[in-house]
Chain A
Amino acid sequence: MFVELCSERAQPVFRFNIDLWAQYRFAWTHEGFAFHDPAGRSVTSDSLTAVLWRRPSLRDCPDWDGGSPDDRAATEAELHTLVRELADWARAHGLLRLIEPGGPRRVGRLLQMRIARDFFAVPEWGAGWGLRWPPGRRMVKRLTTEALGEQRDRYIFVQSVETDRLSPDWPWLVQEIAFGSRDATVLYVRGRCFGFEMQRTRAELGVEDWRIRNGAHKDAWRAWSMPEGLAGRIDVYMTRLGLQFGRLDFITGDEGTAFLEVNPNGQFGWLDTPGGWPLHRAVVDAALDPASTIRGNEVAREIDEPREMGPVGFDLG
């Protein structure tokens, strides 16, 4: 879709699909780099005017069965590092736009929730180990999306547990169960907010979190008339995080709207309206605007004003 929308703007575009990496040809020397794709198209580093970095993933990579599992793991690590290097190159040349590759790492879950308290209702949370959590049913989240198990094919999805049963030997992130009954999400693109909510409630879906559903993109979403003032608060919040792009998740209900998390490189394609493609257009417009350049000096401001000088909290003895 990005290619089509760029063509409407007579904007040449070249896409590198990392999961089809073996079908491209690539070379990088001190003179610069060049890609060739199987369709005969090519791009060189000196011809690029903007770079949009999305979620490079080699999971379920097709058309590549060569080598041992160790060979494959080593190659995937090299490829991931290479695309990071490409992003670094783009940033160093002032060409990286809108989406910060290191955003999910720079703006982690705990930072998100701490700053979000200034703008939204945020269910109480705690993280730690070496302690026994108090009794009660709460949500367990992960700080990362790393896969578990020998096959690296299992994940810990958001779920509720009796927290006093959590082993004290492991680090946990637990959170009070949010009020509300219906999931909502907002795509944020440089000050513009696009809100959506699920047509069915969590109870109707029979889930604690819609993201664990198979084929969840088939569930119906509808435009969400956000509560008055929410879009403005999201804009200030994202500015405080130093993010120009992200997808924020909320849960709504009679008691109000509670913040769950923001993904700085979130997916949004299934939410868009075929034909008009307002979300894709917003992203393309922003990515083509030099004002969206990622400088590499983005920071999250946890406090509005620096603290006045007080006692220094270091013991150098």
Chain B
Amino acid sequence: MLISTSVLLLSAVSPTMATDITPVSLATRPHIVTLVGAPYDWNLQRMSIVSGQKLADSTANCNTATIETNSGGKTDQVHDCGFD
């Protein structure tokens, strides 16, 4: 359980140490991304029913750029859905 605001502020602050965690020390690159450069299919914008459409073919809520991910030692190419 975190202690109260007043206790946190009233507690003496020990001096900064070289081993303290800073924001940058927690930062990582999100994933290995290589743009494939596949052209966008503008026909997806047309009013036609596309049968058998797979999720990754839909750019409705993903970046239209195709990216290459490195997952478990294997690569695959997907649209970047930018997980929240």
Contact = CB atoms under 8 A, between A and B. Distances in A.
Bound pair: A and B?
yes
Interface of A: 1-4, 6-8, 12-15, 17, 19-20, 23, 37-39, 41, 54-55, 57, 59-63, 124-126, 128, 130-134, 138, 140, 148-149, 153-157, 159, 161, 165-170, 174, 176, 211-218, 247, 263, 265-270, 272, 274, 280
B42 A155 contact: no
Contacts of B28: 154-157
A39 B46 contact: yes
Give the one of A138, A148, A167, A263 with max B CB within 10 A: A167
A274 B8 CA distance: 51
Contacts of B42: 37-39
A216 B83 contact: yes
Contacts, number: 177
Dominant SS at the B interface? loop
Nearest to B48: A7
Contact of B22 (A124, A167, A214): A167
A212 B83 CA distance: 9
B45 A39 contact: yes
Contact of A272 (B22, B45, B46, B55): B55
23 contacts: A19-B64, A39-B46, A41-B45, A60-B67, A62-B64, A128-B9, A133-B8, A134-B2, A134-B8, A138-B2, A154-B24, A157-B30, A159-B26, A166-B20, A166-B21, A168-B16, A168-B20, A176-B1, A215-B69, A217-B83, A267-B81, A268-B61, A274-B53
A165 B19 contact: yes
Determine the interface band of chain B, counting residues with CB < 8 A from chain A.
35 or more
A1 B81 contact: no
B47 A7 contact: yes
Contacts of B8: 126, 128, 131, 133-134
Nearest to B34: A60
Contacts of A20: 40, 64
A265 B84 CA distance: 9
A19 B22 contact: no
Interface string B2-20: 1101001101111010011
Contacts of B5: 126, 128
A1 to B, nearest CB: 4
Nearest to A261: B84
A167 B43 contact: no
A4 B1 contact: no
A254 B44 CA distance: 45
A63 B66 CA distance: 12
B31 A274 contact: no
A269 B58 contact: yes
B71 A218 contact: yes
B60 A3 contact: yes
A287 to B, nearest CB: 12
A174 B33 CA distance: 29
B76 to A, nearest CB: 7
B62 A269 contact: yes
A155 B23 CA distance: 10
Contact of B71 (A63, A148, A214): A214
Given A156-B23, A211-B83, A270-B55, A54 B61 contact: yes
A280 B43 contact: no
Contact of A174 (B2, B14, B63, B76): B2
A55 B64 contact: no
Contact of B23 (A14, A39, A170): A170
Contacts of B70: 214
A8 B48 CA distance: 9
Contact of B1 (A12, A124, A170, A174): A124
A38 B26 CA distance: 43
Contacts of B58: 1, 269
